[in-house]
Amino acid sequence: MLFNYFCPACGKVIPSDKPVWRCECGGYLDLDYMPVLDRSKLPDEKSMWRYSQVLPLEKINPDLLFGEGFTPLLPMKFWGIDVLGKLDYLMPSGSFKDRGAALMIHKCHEMGIKEIVEDSSGNSACAVAAYCARAGIKANIYMPAGNSSAKSIQARAYGAQIHLIPGSRTDCADAALEGAKKSYYAAHAYNPFFLHGTKTVIYEIAEQMNWQVPDYYFTPVGSGSQLLGVYLGLKEMLNAGIIDRMPRLMAVQSNHCAPLKDFAEGRPLCNPVSQSIAEGIAIARPVRLNQIIAAVRETGGDIVTVDDTEIVEALKLSFGQGFYIEPTSAAAFAALKQYSGKIKTGEKVVVSLTGHGLKASSKIESLL
C-alpha cells in the first residue's frame, strides 16, 4: 500500500516512501488517496484509530499510540446560541495537533527516520515532541523566542531539542530550514499525513452525531491543519456516501493577523508581527492559504476575524461553563457572536476546542 504525493501547484508525482517534505517547485504536497470507510467494519476501539481503515499507513504500530482521540462532543451555550463543543484540548499533549502529529510521526517511524526538524509556535511542537518521544525519534524544534513558555517547557520535557530563534516567525522558519539540511523536515503545514491525522476529528463528530454533520463548523485557523483536515474527512465521507452535504467551514482569525481575510478581499497580506493573545493562529503566510480559501468557499463558509477583547469575553464564557481552554481556542467562540443573527434556530453548530488552558496560565492570570 504505497501512496503517491502530488503537488497541486505543478502536478509532480512523488512516491510517499521518499523523505521529501515539499515539492521541488516549493509547493506543499497532497496525497493521492481517497479511502472509503466501511461503517460495518469499525472496531470496538474508542480512539482516533477506530478509523484506521481510512488512514494512509502501511500498518499501525500500537507501541506508538496513546489511545488518543474520541474526545467528547458536549453542549455549550454562547450568547444564547446552542453549540456542540468538540473537546480536543483533552488530547495527550493538550491540543488537536496530536491527531496530525500521530500520523506524521507514525509515517516518519515507518520510513526509519531517526531525527526530525519542526518549526512551531507551540502546540505542534508539543505534539510532535510527544510522539517523537514515544517513537524514539530525536526532535529538533525551532520556536520564535518569546512564545508561551509553558509550551516550550512541555516540548523540552519530552526530550526535544529546543532552538529559540529571535525575530519573526519567518526568521524561525528560515532557521528550521537550515537545520533540516541534516535531517527530515517534518513540517506540519506542508505534510499531508498531518492532515490525514487531523481529519479523524470530523469522522468522530459525524459518528457522535449519528452520521450527520453539523450546519456550521467553527475553528481557529493559522496554518489550516484543522480546517483542511476536516475538509478532507468531509470529502471522503461525501465520496463514500456517508453524508450528503458539507457543513459551512468557518475559518476564524484574529484581527491582528488575518491573511485569509486580506487575501479574500484582495489586500496585501498583513505584516508578520502580531501581538494578539491568539498566538496559535498568528501565521502571517499560511503555506496552504489558497487551499483554505477554496475549502471555505466550496462549503459556503466564511472567514471571520475577531478582536482580543472579543476573544477574552468568549474565553471567560467558556471558563464559566467549566471548559478550560487557551485564548487561541476561544477565538472560535468569539466568532459565534458575530454570527448570532445568521444562525437559524435548529441549525447545528460545532465549535472545536483546540487547545488546553493549562498551557496559558500566566496569560490567563493577567486576564482575570
Ligand X SMILES: *Cc1c(COP(=O)(O)O)cnc(C)c1O
Which of ligand X, Zn ion, none does residue 280 bind (CB under 5 to 8 Å by kind)? Answer: ligand X
What is d(CA 205, CA 246) in angstroms, rounded to the nearest whole number?
13
In sequence order, the β-bridge partners of residue 252 are 220, 304
Write each residue from 23 to 62 as x if it is in contact with Zn ion (CB under 5 A), else as -, in one continuous string. Answer: x-x-x-----------------------------------
Q: State yes or no: residue 328 binds ligand X (CB under 6 A).
A: yes
Q: Which residue has the cell 491540543?
A: 95
> Which of Zn ion, ligand X, none interacts with 281 (beta carbon under 5 to 8 A by kind)?
ligand X
Looking at the Cβ atoms of 37 and 336, the one nearer to ligand X is 336
Rounded distance, CA 191 to CA 170, Å? 18
Question: Which residue lies nearer to Zn ion by CB, 25 or 157?
Answer: 25
Cell numbers of 91, please?
488530547
Q: Which is nearer to ligand X, 242 or 357 (CB)?
A: 357
Q: Is 192 in the site for Zn ion (CB under 5 A)?
A: no
CB of 3 vs ligand X, minimal distance in Å: 22
Q: Is 140 in the site for ligand X (CB under 6 A)?
A: no
Choice from 4, 9, 66, 74 touching Zn ion (CB under 5 A): 9
Shortest approach of ligand X to residue 151 CB, angstroms? Answer: 9
Choose the one of Zn ion, ligand X, none that binds residue 329, judging by a C-beta under 5 to 8 angstroms depending on kind. ligand X
3-class secondary-structure state, position 85: strand
In whole angstroms, give the CA distance from residue 131 to residue 136: 8
The answer to whether 226 contacts ligand X (rule: CB under 6 A) is yes
At 146, the amino acid letter reads G
Contact 69, 89 (CB under 8 A): no
Selection from ligand X, Zn ion, none that 354 binds (CB < 5 to 8 A by kind) is: ligand X
346 in Cβ contact with 311 (< 8 Å): no
Q: Which of 56, 192, 220, 247 binds ligand X (CB under 6 A)?
A: 220
Q: Name the β-bridge partners of 216.
A: 248, 349
Yes or no: say if 119 and 138 are a contact pair by the CB < 8 Å rule.
no
From the list 201, 197, 205, 290, the residue with the least C-alpha distance to 251 is: 290
Residue 25's binding partner among Zn ion, ligand X, none (Cβ under 5 to 8 angstroms by kind) is Zn ion
Tell me the window of 60-68, 69-77, 110-118, 219-227 that interacts with ligand X (CB under 6 A): 219-227
Binding flag, residue 274, ligand X (CB under 6 A)? no
Backbone angles phi, psi at 234, to 5 degrees: -65, -40
Report the b/e string of 331-359 with b at 16+ CB within 10 A: bbbbbbbebeeebeeeebbbbbbbbbbeb
Query: CB under 5 A: which stretch of 1-9, 215-223, 231-239, 310-318 binds Zn ion?
Result: 1-9
Write down how long the chain is. Answer: 368
Near ligand X by CB under 6 A: residue from 123, 191, 200, 253: 123
Distances (CA, A) of 168 to 268, 274, 319, 347: 18, 9, 31, 41
The verdict on 153 binding Zn ion (CB under 5 A) reads: no
Encoded one letter per residue, x for contact with ligand X by CB under 6 A and - for no contact, window 67-106 reads ----------------------------x-x---------
User: To which H or E segment does residue 351 belong?
Assistant: strand 349-352
Stretch that binds ligand X, among 11-19, 164-172, 215-223, 339-347 (CB under 6 A): 215-223
* Sign (positive or negative) of CA dihedral 221, 316, 157, 95: negative
- Residues near ligand X (CB under 6 A): 95, 97, 123, 220-226, 280-281, 326, 328-329, 354-355
- Residues near Zn ion (CB under 5 A): 7, 9-10, 12, 23, 25, 27
